[in-house]
Amino acid sequence: MKFDTPATTNPIDRLKVVGRPTSRIDGPLKTTGTAPYAYERHDVVANQAYGYAVGSTIAKGRIASMDVKAAEAAPGVLAVVTAGNAGPLAKADRNIATLLGGPQIEHYHQAIALVVAESFEQARAAAALIRVDYTRADGAFDLERAREGVTGPSKDDPDSTLGDFAGAFAAAPIQLDATYRTPDQSHAMMEPHATIAAWRGDQLTVWTSNQMIDWATTDLAKTLGIPKEKVHVVSPFVGGGFGGKLFLRADTLLAALGARATGRPVKVALPRPLIMNNTTHRPATIQRIRIGATPDGRITAIGHESWSGNLPDGKPENAVDQTRLLYAAPNRLTGTRLAVLDLPEGNAMRAPGEAPGLMALEIAMDEMAEKLGLDPVEFRIRNDTQVDPEKPDRPFSQRQLVECLRLGAERFGWSRRSAQPARNRDGRWLVGTGVAAAFRNNLLTPSAARVRLDKHGMVAVETDMTDIGTGSYTILAQTAAEMMGVGLDKVVVRLGDSKFPVSAGSGGQWGANNSTAGVYAACVKLREAVAQKLGFNSADAVFSDGVVRSGNRSAPLAQAAGDPGLAAEDAIEYGDLGKRYQQSTFGAHFVEVGVDAATAEIRVRRMLAVCAAGRILNPLSARSQVIGAMTMGVGAALMEELAVDTRAGFFVNHDLAGYEVPVHADIPHQEVIFLDETDPISSPMKAKGVGELGLCGVGAAIANAIHNATGARVRDYPITLDKLLDRMPEVG
Amino acid sequence: MQNPGDLELTRRGVLMGSAAAVALTTGPFTEPAHAAAKRQEPILSTVSFTVNGKPRRLELDTRTTLLDALRDHLHVTGPKKGCDHGQCGACTVLVAGRRINACLTLAVMHEGDSVTTIEGLGLPDGLHPMQAAFVKHDGYQCGYCTPGQICSAVAVLDEIKAGIPSHASTDLTTPPQATAAELRERMSGNICRCGAYSNIVDAITEVAGRQA
């Protein structure tokens, strides 16, 4: 189905199932520990051997020699796989560094070997017997230092400009020129990257944990140099990804190689201490923001440059994109500056670009409001735009940022805030509130699905879409139930299998809108097949309560299926609506913090998010997406930082003890409000994504609240108490 | 949710899978080709304990954690391995009613113990009240930390009932209550990266209220 004109009324608008708060249909499995994750698939293949991955202990250089004899001779060991004996391997386009290193080493903890043994304990013990001599090469690991050598844009990413930024900024009566820093961050999903691989002849099956089934299938085939049709990828449950499982990673490749070497199914989970340096991370940024405004608070010039580093051929962290779209200004400059660093591969983590970008921009907006003596909510409202500022003939499909800010301010009690910092005391706590805008684009990508109807009236949805905790199972079931006019108990959803039609997959908050639209398209086709089978006119057939009605005729849905059943497959594909309209999601975050007057300990006391993100397909799981993102935003603001050893070139705190993420005690009760919105420009579902919006801006709202509480402006995340201590106000 | 075909899991299936695993993992080890290296044959030991009320006897490499004994030898895969270092809490199980990180304890240390995993609290056709409350309040997303969260939550309410104080207890002379602050403090060993904390506390609070 080609979606090239705005949606009109369709069966989804009945909202009998879609749009209602619905408990997850996979809930009973997940809460009883019976949802099967990759490493624990004892049910799929017998005689599984255990693989244990070994990582490089240098960041850059060569393996001079590697002695695996002791490991090979250790009890229970079946094989030791290295680049030297694995056979030729290609590198897929979506991987920046090779997944099995050697002799060349591109980053610390790059996998260099897999030990396969009869038991996990034997594989782990034998892995420790491998002796490696490295020839170390000098590398660049320090973004601060590398930044000095990068003054302009890279060839692939030219600056975006409008008007005369330099002149307008210089002439602006009120100016801000400030630099902000965000650290390297790790996805730290709870389920380690894990795969079971088994060969049957030249056919490879992997049970794995991956957000993008078709990417994994394509890239595993390419890496191994075998036809894509020979690779079967299965990933029905994913224990968190956040972008870390978008790509083929070492666990999958190593399991496949281990299984080929031993003739046995092999299972591999990346050990937790290996994950943060072996896989991808969100790169650190240094962001310079300049804003010029008139005394009445109109922005005349806005500039945002962001420095980040990556391995050769890597991409920059695009922290400036939202600045092209969020506020009006006639003179604009945005651009990325990319340095080569020999740290592990930088890549997408939840809301790549916007998450670190808004952490900086939305502090800058707070600082500017302070300079102007304007309320920060009002300052943002005053600079709203309903069109793409760089292309004024291109409107936003929907843009309710102002409504989010106004409603949030009212519900949060914003009017009680003291504009003067450090004026609000509650016992030992200095209390402050902060606000930030949330912004994240709505991305359109094709998505296919197959829908089957059987003689019992059961509807089965099959698509390679994944559920990474986002609630895909449930919203796809809701979509099929609404379209076919049946209850949720009549729908089965099968996901995460490369034998199913290729979906949008999970990433970039594009999953919900695109994958449900794909199921919508397949259901339209199935409805036509049903009507035809019943001899009804498909245009006026109504599907409701398990019955199909047309004029004064009606028949049970199941009757149309008959013994052989009916199946339909289709995909949603998009025309140019994404070009003619700017499609984005909006929100406003409000946060109250307490800062201990003596110790500068920071506690988040209240959080509210107001979101405008099109039709909310399942308010229960969408709310969970937002509160989860708000929680990740607390981590980004207050604790998360991969500490870089700039001499040895690796992330030092590479486990869940050293890399601190929020725990229960860090998170208060959280409130979420969704504005009533439908976006007929986005898809027949009239929905947009929400899973990343909830993270965008949270960090800055917290930073602004800390400033309001203490008067101290910290521009260097995470905001830990040591950065506040010598700047705390004198209090009695 | 209707189980998609091969995902069908029943209590009987969980138990049957377990017997096969024991046979498989105690089979003979293949002789390595290279004999020159110093050999360290695994030291095996037998251990008996009950898992979800059922007696179990295993012969194990003594390095095997309770978590791996459950997951890889008994095929009781509800307890999850998130970090294998006691940092995340996904492997939380109840031993003699008290919660522990199953990855931080060796299986052979549990002779005679009674182990309860998430499957022992309830299965899809008969949810424990805490499991039902997690579903109702959407106290999970990806589901990987969830078995640990729920085992911890059940134990936390028992700890509060037993009068065991926590860092959040304001007074050691009066019995602790299941306040949000107490629950958040006591649940802080169970990380949820999806960030379902606010909903988890709502779920536990509802169960605590029902119990009171």
pLDDT at B3 over 70: no
Please count the structural domains in chain B: 2
Contact B138 A656 (CB under 8 A): no
pLDDT at B19 over 80: no
Contact B138 A24 (CB under 8 A): yes
Nearest to residue A307, comparing CAs of A147, A113, A493?
A: A147
Contact A190 B40 (CB under 8 A): no
Q: What is the DSSP string of B7-37?
A: G---HHHHHHHHHHHHHHHTSPPPPPS--SS
B73 touches A at CB < 8 Å: no
Instruction: Report residue A719 as tokens.
Output: 């905001």
pLDDT at B34 over 70: no
| pLDDT score, position B10 | 44
pLDDT at B140 over 70: yes
Question: Which chain A residues touch B81 with a CB distance below 8 Å?
Answer: 39, 192, 269
Nearest CA-CA distance, residue B47 and chain A, Å: 17
B115 touches A at CB < 8 Å: no
Asked whether residue B137 falls in the same domain as residue B110, the answer is no
Asked whether residue B134 falls in the same domain as residue B205, the answer is yes
Cα separation, A181 vs A715, in Å, equals 6
With 0-12 / 13-18 / 19 or more C-beta atoms within 10 angstroms meaning exposed / middle / buried, residue A732 is exposed
- ∠A662-A181-A668 over CA atoms, to 5°? 25
Question: Which chain A residues touch B116 with a CB distance below 8 Å?
Answer: none
| pLDDT score, position B21 | 38
pLDDT tens digits for range A705-714: 999 999 999 9
Nearest CA-CA distance, residue A24 and chain B, Å: 7
Contact B83 A492 (CB under 8 A): no
B15 touches A at CB < 8 Å: no
Answer yes or no: is B155 within a domain: yes
Answer yes or no: is B17 within a domain: no
Residues A500-529, mean pLDDT to the nearest whole number: 97
Contact B195 A269 (CB under 8 A): no
pLDDT tens digits for range A311-358: 999 999 999 999 999 999 999 999 999 999 999 999 999 999 999 999
Q: What is the DSSP string of B88-116?
A: S-TTEEEETTEEEEGGGSBGGGGTT-EEE
| pLDDT score, position A732 | 53
Answer yes or no: is B29 within a domain: no
Residue among A32, A471, A665 whose CB faces B123 most closely: A32
pLDDT tens digits for range A77-100: 999 999 999 999 999 999 999 999
Cα B164 to chain centroid distance, Å, stands at: 21
Q: Which of A66-75, B21-30, B43-52 has the lowest mean pLDDT?
A: B21-30
Asked whether residue B80 falls in the same domain as residue B98, the answer is yes
Contact B195 A631 (CB under 8 A): yes
Q: How many CB pairs under 8 A join A and B?
A: 272
Answer yes or no: is B6 within a domain: no
| Distances A668 to A350, A432, A665 between C-alpha atoms, Å | 22, 15, 8
| pLDDT score, position A155 | 83
Mean pLDDT of chain B: 87
**What ipTM was assigned to the predicted interfaces of this complex?**
0.98
Amino acid in the structure at residue A699: G
pLDDT tens digits for range A41-62: 999 999 999 999 999 999 999 9
Cα separation, B75 vs B68, in Å, equals 9
pLDDT at A173 over 90: yes
Asked whether residue B182 falls in the same domain as residue B112, the answer is no
Mutate to test the interface with B, among A22, A23, A31 (most CBs of B within 10 A): A31
Contact B79 A33 (CB under 8 A): yes
Q: Residue A392: which H helix or E strand, with range?
A: strand A391-395
Nearest CA-CA distance, residue B158 and chain A, Å: 18
Asked whether residue B160 falls in the same domain as residue B184, the answer is yes
In chain A, the residue whose alpha carbon lies closest to the alpha carbon of B16 is A43
* High-pLDDT (> 90) share of chain A, %: 99
The domain of B192 spans 129-211
Contact B138 A122 (CB under 8 A): no
Nearest CA-CA distance, residue B173 and chain A, Å: 23
| pLDDT score, position A698 | 98
Contact B24 A47 (CB under 8 A): yes
Which of B72, B102, B121 is a domain's end point? B121
CATH number at residue B114: 3.10.20.30
Which of B121, B151, B176 is a domain's end point? B121
| pLDDT score, position B30 | 42
Residue among A469, A491, A668 whose CB faces B141 most closely: A469
| pLDDT score, position A462 | 98
* Domains of chain A with bracketed CATH: 2-35+444-577 (3.30.365.10), 44-138+198-278 (3.30.365.10), 394-441+583-727 (3.30.365.10)
Residues B108-133, mean pLDDT to the nearest whole number: 98
pLDDT at B146 over 90: yes
pLDDT at B39 over 70: no
| pLDDT score, position A689 | 94
Question: Which chain B residues touch A129 with a CB distance below 8 Å?
Answer: 37
In chain B, the residue whose alpha carbon lies closest to the alpha carbon of A665 is B184
Q: Which residues of A belong to the active site?
A: 692
Nearest CA-CA distance, residue B160 and chain A, Å: 17
| pLDDT score, position A177 | 98
Residue bearing the bigger pLDDT, A732 or A236: A236
| pLDDT score, position B40 | 67
pLDDT at B143 over 60: yes
Where residue A154 falls among pLDDT bands split at 50, 70, 90? confident
Q: Which of A301-305, A500-504, B33-37 has the lowest mean pLDDT?
A: B33-37
B49 touches A at CB < 8 Å: no
Mutate to test the interface with A, among B22, B60, B81, B142 (most CBs of A within 10 A): B142
Contact B135 A665 (CB under 8 A): no
Asked whether residue B149 falls in the same domain as residue B91, the answer is no
- Each residue of A143-171: b (16+ CB within 10 Å) or e? beebeeebeebeeeeebbebeebeebbee
Instruction: Report residue B123 as tokens.
Output: 């299965």
Residues B177-183, mean pLDDT to the nearest whole number: 97
Asked whether residue B68 falls in the same domain as residue B139, the answer is no
Asked whether residue B203 falls in the same domain as residue B140, the answer is yes
Question: Which chain B residues touch A471 with a CB distance below 8 Å?
Answer: 141
CB atoms under 10 Å from CB of B112, counted, come to 9
With 0-12 / 13-18 / 19 or more C-beta atoms within 10 angstroms meaning exposed / middle / buried, residue A645 is middle
Which of B121, B153, B170 is a domain's end point? B121
B144 touches A at CB < 8 Å: yes
B43 touches A at CB < 8 Å: no
Instruction: Determine contact, residues A382/A190, Cβ cutoff 8 Å.
Output: no
Asked whether residue B183 falls in the same domain as residue B204, the answer is yes
Largest Cα span, chain A: 84
Answer yes or no: is B1 within a domain: no
Answer yes or no: is B14 within a domain: no
Q: Which of A167-181, B17-31, B158-172 has the lowest mean pLDDT?
A: B17-31
B97 touches A at CB < 8 Å: no
Where residue A516 falls among pLDDT bands split at 50, 70, 90? very high
Strands (E), A56-163: 61-67, 77-82, 104-105, 111-117, 131-136, 160-162
| pLDDT score, position A156 | 84
Where residue A260 falls among pLDDT bands split at 50, 70, 90? very high
| Distances B52 to A4, A713, B15, B87, B114 between C-alpha atoms, Å | 56, 54, 10, 25, 8
CATH number at residue B180: 1.10.150.120
Residues A477-490, mean pLDDT to the nearest whole number: 98
Mutate to test the interface with B, among A26, A32, A115, A490 (most CBs of B within 10 A): A32
Contact A31 B199 (CB under 8 A): no
Asked whether residue B58 falls in the same domain as residue B91, the answer is yes
pLDDT at B22 over 60: no
Cα separation, B6 vs B21, in Å, equals 19
Largest Cα span, chain B: 66
pLDDT tens digits for range A550-603: 999 999 999 999 999 999 999 999 999 999 999 999 999 999 999 999 999 999
**Angle, helices A698-710/A354-372, rounded to nearest 10 degrees:** 30
| pLDDT score, position A412 | 98
Question: Which chain B residues touch A477 with a CB distance below 8 Å?
Answer: 1
B32 touches A at CB < 8 Å: yes
Contact B184 A667 (CB under 8 A): yes
Answer yes or no: is B22 within a domain: no
In chain A, the residue whose alpha carbon lies closest to the alpha carbon of B120 is A32
pLDDT tens digits for range A524-542: 999 999 999 999 998 899 9
Contact A493 B4 (CB under 8 A): yes
Answer yes or no: is B31 within a domain: no
pLDDT at B17 over 50: no
Mean pLDDT of chain A: 97
A535: left (phi over 0), alpha (psi -120 to 50) or beta: left
